[in-house]
Amino acid sequence: MTSQAMSPSVEGGPETISAVLPAGSTIHAWIKALHGGAPGKLTAHVDGDPAGAVETSNPHEFEFRLLALESGGETAFSYDPVTTEVSVLYAFRQSRVLEEGVQLLHVRPSNAAPQTAGSYHFRPPFGWMNDPNGFGRFGGRLHLFYQHYPHSLRWNNMHWGHAVSDDYLHWTHLPIFLPPSHELAARADGRGGAFSGSAVPLDGAGIRIFFTEHMKDRQPEEQVQFTATSRDLVKVEAASLILPARPAGLDLTTDFRDPYVFMGPDGKWKMLLGTRDREGGVILLYETDDPAAATGWTFLGMLHRENRFGMTAAECPCLAPLDGPANDPSTRWALIFGLLTSRDPATGRRNMTIATVGRFDGRSFSVEFEQELDFGTDAYAFQAFVDDDGPVGIAWLANWTDVSKEIDMATAMTLPRRLALHEGALITPPIAGVKSLRQRRLDAHGLVDGRTVDLANGSVEIALALKEPGNAFRLTFEHPEAAVEVLLNDDGLSIPFSVANAKTSPRYIAAGARPSTIRVFLDAGSIEVFADNGRWTGTKRLPGFTGVSSVRLTALEGNVLAAEIWQLGL
């Protein structure tokens, strides 16, 4: 398929979007009427011949419409900008979409993805993105679903976006997978939608997904749980309500969301849900005897609670075996969840993510130790699954603290990370495949010699080896919108970070950390720090999409044995 072309508009005339498309192309269009009286209409022609039209009378929100092109050739989509607005338009071949993805034909400036040439993090092709959903390997490919609003770079009624990969790094964008209910899709007021969830494989082929439907001010439940199936991994079938209400008698708030479904050690499907009561965050456990996980979900009880930060909501829980098969009683599991509205009084950090490690017998979880997942806090809504080589997870590279109702904010996903136990701690190193991103070495001696090193487009990896664990150093970065460093001293490992005119800046620190190796991954809009193979991991979203331009190392002579910088790219 060829790339899109937008014709110059004639004063008072139609706008035209042109592309050469093969026969049998499927078109997804989101259109809106600009006036209550006249419908919005999009018309297709192939080689000059009429090929179909779609329309809407909704002036409030973009509505989804589908076109199927029988013939192929020079295709023109036309609309009158006085009566019609087109938010998103893309084409694909149904039989080849998992290999080819979608061909993006049109987005508006207000929902277009930022220009980040050379960036290597996952971003959606348009619109807003937050939590990963349904992260897993299905049909031989890695699938990433995610919270998505297609029509601006700001949160609104939630859809599920979708992409596939063979290596966790190179992603192919697929059609939008799960829209909000029809009632919510017809509005643009952020009242809810298809919230976060998970996916499991179906026997034979396809997946079953689980998600929270949220509808603001709905009584008695704002949040309820649905399931749906997809046989071809592209189209989702009609959803069914499986949990219409919170468990009674626990004095829970209306928070009741983010179903994470997995196979338990007893061979039964389990479901975690996040909520809170008047004391703190709570994780609920359900199970079913149904091999298809479609029906029969019953409440087993509270699996875990976290009260250290007050009345915070536990959300986006996941539970994965770390050091053995799920059905081995000696296997330790990692229970990971976010704590919405939490605040660490010692550092001022918000919305912490907790990793609790212990044993899980299918009905109860016995805690052995607990640690923070990420001292930078911008690896939120972490979701993991067990792949062929062990558990791996990914997170939203942002934090609700940064989100503004006034300012659009495009974000990314973190680098995918392994999960493992090592010397009594949970480690989360980046997947081994990130080394394949190295294109050329930018520097091998300049940093150690104390020189300022230019970082080209800012998409780089910096690898440091220290003479002794905990040897102090400071990396100082040049960034157009923030003061950013990586610092190791007697207090621990930190990412000093501040922006101009900020009243206060949280202290992003792994207190007491004394690593001997550090890998720093910089990209447009982010920094990720992995110390001692992920024993301490810190992720911070950086403002804007201009990369860090240079770096300088400050350290006592002999503290840093080696420092290399690699240009990265897909």
Residue pLDDT, tens place only, 194-250: 999 999 999 888 999 999 999 999 999 999 999 999 999 999 999 999 999 999 999
Question: What pLDDT does 1 receive?
Answer: 40
Domain assignments of the chain as residue spans, ordered by start: 15-93, 129-427, 437-568
Question: What pLDDT does 9 receive?
Answer: 47
Q: Which residues pair with 224 in a beta bridge?
A: 213
E strands within 22-68? 25-33, 40-46, 49-56, 63-68
Same fold, 15-93 and 437-568: yes
Question: What pLDDT does 198 receive?
Answer: 98
E strands within 103-222? 103-107, 128-138, 141-149, 159-165, 171-173, 192-201, 207-215
CB 512 within 8 A of CB 492: yes
Q: Is 380 helix (H, G, I), strand (E, B) or coil?
A: strand
CATH 1.10.3720.10 assigned to domain 437-568? The reply is no
Phi and psi torsions of 28, nearest 5°: -110, 125
CB 352 within 8 A of CB 332: no
Question: What pLDDT does 503 receive?
Answer: 78
Class level of CATH domain 129-427: mainly beta
E strands within 202-234? 207-215, 223-230
Between CA 123 and CA 533 the distance in angstroms is 25
Q: Is 437 helix (H, G, I), strand (E, B) or coil?
A: helix
DSSP state of 413: B
- Nearest-5° Cα angle at 274, 269 to 275: 135
Q: Measured between alpha carbons, how far is residue 93 from residues 2, 90, 537 in Å?
A: 13, 11, 41
pLDDT digits (tens, 9 = 90+) for 86-122: 999 999 999 999 999 999 999 999 999 999 989 999 9
Provide the residue type at 430 as one letter: P
CA-nearest of 177, 152, 148, 147 to 162 is 177
CB 236 within 8 A of CB 209: yes
Give pLDDT < 70 ranges for the chain: 1-12, 36
Q: How far is CA 216 from the centre of its chain?
A: 23
Which value, in Å, is the radius of gyration of the alpha carbons in the chain? 24
CB 471 within 8 A of CB 489: no
| Other Cβ atoms within 10 Å of 549 Cβ, number | 15
Q: Which residues pair with 225 in a beta bridge?
A: 212, 243
Beta strand pairing call for 223-230 and 240-243: antiparallel
CATH 1.10.760.10 assigned to domain 15-93? The reply is no
Question: What pLDDT does 244 receive?
Answer: 97
Beta strand pairing call for 269-276 and 281-288: antiparallel
Question: What pLDDT does 11 receive?
Answer: 56
Structure tokens at 550: 């240079």
Structure tokens at 355: 């990793």
Question: What pLDDT does 493 receive?
Answer: 98
| CA 349, 543, 547, 433 torsion-angle sign | positive
Q: Measured between alpha carbons, how far is residue 541 from residues 51, 86, 163, 184, 547 in Å?
A: 45, 31, 22, 30, 12
Between CA 84 and CA 501 the distance in angstroms is 41
Structure tokens at 130: 């937050």
CA-nearest of 183, 186, 250, 235 to 214 is 183
Question: What pLDDT does 183 receive?
Answer: 86
How many residues are present in the chain?
570
Phi and psi torsions of 436, nearest 5°: -70, -15
Question: What pLDDT does 149 receive?
Answer: 96
Task: For residue 56, count CB atoms less than 10 angstroms from its CB and return exposed for 0-12, middle for 13-18, buried for 19 or more.
Answer: buried
Number of H helices, E strands in the chain: 2, 43
E strands within 252-352? 257-263, 269-276, 281-288, 298-306, 313-321, 333-340
Between CA 356 and CA 373 the distance in angstroms is 9
